[in-house]
Structure 1
Amino acid sequence: MSAEHSSTSKGIVIVGAGLAGWHVIDAIRAKDKDIAITLVTTDSADRYHKPMLTMAISQNKRASDLVRATGSDAAKNANVNLLANTQVSDIDSASQQLHLISATRSDPANVDYATIGYDKLVLAMGAHPIFPQSLPEDLVWHVNHIERFGQLQEKLATGSQHVAIV
């Protein structure tokens, strides 16, 4: 996992590849086609319209039906350096560096941290739903992300289910 930057400019680093992260990229590219942009995300960075998750099951859509572009294709088209499946473990604002680890690492105890620098940093990580402590974790599904939506579909396909939607 490495990021190449020119020696004079480290460019813009965006953390989060949801709707906000991709809209920031679109806005930057509308003004500047050449500035270095690195997108760091814990997932694949696929582009999809998140509000569609709320209607997809009733419309018999699968997670793959919602993806408008894969993360790698979208990054290539926008001239973005994509660091997919990568977590930010620390932000050092004094040195303008992010410490990164691979989200798919095999040995969490033995990990080499990568660092990348930035001139500008955008945190577009979205919301994290609160989990009610009184409910058993294995029975509660937060469908706030396309991967989680796909997992819910798989679970519902295993047979008849009683579902309450809140």
Structure 2
Amino acid sequence: MTAPLIIIGTGLAGYNLAREYRKLAPEAPLQLISADGGDFYSKPMLSTALASQKSAAQLVMKPVEKMAEELRAEIWTETPVLRLDPAQRRVHTARGELAYSQLVLALGADAFAPPLAGDAAGQVLQVNDLADYARFRAALAGREQVLLLGAGLIGCEFAQDLASNGIQVTVVDPAGWPLSRLLPEAAGRYLQGRLEALGVRFCFGQSAQAVEQAAGRYAVQLADGSALQADLVLSAIGLRPRTQLAAEAGLAVARGIVVDRQLRSSDAQIYALGDCAEVAGLVLPYVQPIMQSARVLAANLAGQAPLLSYPAMPVLVKTPACPTIVCPPLTAGGEWECQALEGGLRALYRDGAGRLLGFALLGSATTERAALSAQLPAWLG
């Protein structure tokens, strides 16, 4: 019996790869391994689900049984992978060993755990999957004040979602403005103003040092010695690609699992895609690169040999109080040009020759997305 293609991971990357592969190889043996329940849901919805009044169960788009039926695949759920054996082409799991013909790592990324002291540091919540979201919703019941660590993309989306539902939100970040890694200051300040109008409070230039219990609430100690009170503390300070399994198996790892433009790792029979993968030096934890990678990898697994390319792919920040679209420049050496518009702001990043390398569009400026995207060079040509 031919060993199956095995995909480790049933998130957006794993399931979309399986779907694309089934189009090209309808009868090939296929198995997926999931560390969780394996139900299919949209992870980007986790930071906006309060506004849609959806519970964790309601975010499930298809149960794992339906996914197994549609993919004609065997899916092992609640099955941690213990180690890989590339020499023998075997996966060792908590449920037993499996042989593979080809292996795909769609492991995703872990949320950064902030290094906090204090007797309540272990009660700081993070939302990185459906189970996390269920715990967050349960903990949020009856709470009025949330302290949010991180003013990046996910942090701003959570701040919008919470404030829109009547929760008092304070956001703490060591940077000087929201989305500081994606937006120039003028654009970040514009976004800040719109979120503040919604009721969000920002505390920039500060980092949390400790979290203590305080009369049924939490006291968060900041670097300057001050403290903030909250009913709940949520951390959204970023993601770290899951590389440990690959590194322990001897695969090349840098910021992510190093793969070539066919998504092949340093082992010829092992591939990686999604948040855990590093392609040509790029780690892009966004939906469009994942979908692009899934199509290319499926073709490679089916015996074709396409190379992955990335056009410039704008990122939508889900903050309805200030619609924001960012196409970050992937190279330095340019400068931002910001222009206030009626109801919005346009920020263009140009190099010394005047070539457009990136943009940020806020409010009314988001209508320029298509025209500006057409002027950008490919991220990976």
Q: TM-score, normalised by structure 1?
A: 0.84
> Which of 153, 157, 161 in structure 1 is aligned with 2:137?
153
Identify which of 51, 74, 95 aligns with 2:88.
Answer: 95
| Aligned residue identity for 1:137 | G
Distance 2:132 2:65 in 1: 20
Q: Does 1:163 align with 2:146?
A: yes
Task: State the shift of 1:160 in Å.
Answer: 2.2
Q: Residue deviations 1:111-136, cap 9 Å, x none?
A: xxx11000000000101011011251
Q: How far 1:36 moved relative to its partner?
A: 0.7
Structure 1 alignment gaps of length 5 or more = 1-6, 103-113
Measure how far apart 1:77 and its partner are. Answer: 1.6
- 1:128 corresponds to which of 93, 106, 110: 110
Unaligned ranges ≥5, structure 2: 151-381
1:73 matched to which residue of 2?
Answer: 66
> Match for residue 108 of structure 1?
none
Which residue of structure 1 aligns with residue 75 of structure 2?
Answer: 82
1:115 and 2:97 are equivalent in the alignment: yes
Provide Cα deviations, 1:40-75, integer angstroms capped at 9, x if missing partner: 011111111111111001222111111110012111
Q: Which runs of 4+ in 1 moved over 6 A?
A: none
Question: Match for residue 320 of structure 2?
Answer: none
Between the aligned partners of 2:63 and 2:112, the Cα distance in structure 1 is 28
Q: Which secondary structure state, in structure 2, belongs to the residue aligned with residue 86 of structure 1? A: coil
Structure with a larger share of its residues in strand: 2
Q: Distance in 2 between matches of 1:155 and 1:88?
A: 30
Output the amino acid matched with 1:125. Answer: L
TM-score scaled by length of structure 2 = 0.37
Q: Does 1:35 align with 2:28?
A: yes
Deviation at 1:161, TM superposition (A): 4.0
**TM superposition shift of 1:26:** 0.8
Question: Could you tell me how far apart the structure 2 residues matched to 1:28 and 1:38 are?
Answer: 12
Distance in 2 of aligned mates of 1:128 and 1:160: 26
Q: CA deviation at 1:144?
A: 1.0
Code of the residue aligned with 1:129 in structure 2: it is A
Counterpart of 2:122 in structure 1 is: 137
Counterpart CA distance in 1 for 2:145 and 2:31 is: 43
| Cα distance, 1:98 vs structure 2 | 0.6
C-alpha separation in 2, matches of 1:161 and 1:19? 32
User: Across the two proteins, how many residue pairs are aligned to each other?
Assistant: 146
Identical amino acids, percent of aligned pairs: 28
Task: Determine which structure has more spread, i.e. the larger CA radius of gyration.
Answer: 2
Structure with the bigger RCO (C-alpha within 8 Å, sep 6+) is 1
Counterpart of 2:15 in structure 1: which amino acid? W
2:63 and 2:145 map into 1 onto residues whose CA distance is 33
User: Who is 1:3 aligned against?
Assistant: none
